Amino acid sequence: MNPSHSHKPHNLPGEHAITDIGQLILFAIFVLVMVFDIFIFQFSNKTLGTLSQMVTIPLFLIFFLIGGYFILTSHRIIFRETDKEVSVVTKGVFNIVRHPMYFGSIFLFFSFVILSNSVLAFLIWIVICFFYYFIARYEEKLLVNKYGDKYEEYQKKVPMFVPFSK
């Protein structure tokens, strides 16, 4: 289990060893690539032109707010609520997607792709999506080992990342 999450007693099955450092590295790469693309290389401005702020700012806000909502709500459910019963979490945003923190992070990153209009940041965002898929698959193996049929039933009912796709 991640030591940073051990401040409260939980029976969480754990996460991949590279989850935290991988997220930090990808965040740093994403920010650097986006900044370099916007201010130094200006690759995306030359190839795409710029989108109207009338389009980018509302889209940015939609993706940013949805992503933030999923992250904060799922974090509150997992780490702050005092459920004594150890079971599969299926309430709230966990009833929409199985990995709402990762889903929210994907949306937050995408909001900045929209705001920056950066093709290079978009390419890094695709890598980030694959990273979250990889660690989510790993965590699901742990969850199936811990909760068995209950988690497999949950997997059948609730999509991993794409809301309302089941």
Indicate whether 77 belongs to any domain: yes
Distance CA 132, CA 114 (A): 20
Indicate whether 11 belongs to any domain: no
Indicate whether 5 belongs to any domain: no
Region 47-54: mean pLDDT is: 68
Indicate whether 10 belongs to any domain: no
Most confident of 36-40, 82-86, 114-118, 137-141: 137-141
Region 97-117: mean pLDDT is: 95
Indicate whether 12 belongs to any domain: no
Q: Which domain, by its residues, includes 62? A: 18-157
For residue 71, pLDDT over 80 is answered with yes
Amino acid at 1: M
Q: Where are the beta strands (DSSP E) in the chain?
A: none
How far apart, in Å, are the Cα atoms of 27 and each of 3, 20, 155? 20, 11, 28
pLDDT, residue 97, reads: 96
For residue 120, pLDDT over 80 is answered with yes
How far apart, in Å, are the Cα atoms of 97 and each of 15, 43, 49, 64, 141? 18, 35, 35, 17, 16
Indicate whether 3 belongs to any domain: no
> Confidence band (pLDDT; 50, 70, 90) for 132?
very high
> Confidence band (pLDDT; 50, 70, 90) for 42?
confident
Indicate whether 36 belongs to any domain: yes
Indicate whether 37 belongs to any domain: yes
Q: How many domains does the chain have?
A: 1
Q: pTM (2 decimals)?
A: 0.85
**Buried/exposed code over 59-68 (b: 16+ C-beta within 10 A; e: otherwise):** bbeebbebbe
127: tokens are 């890598």
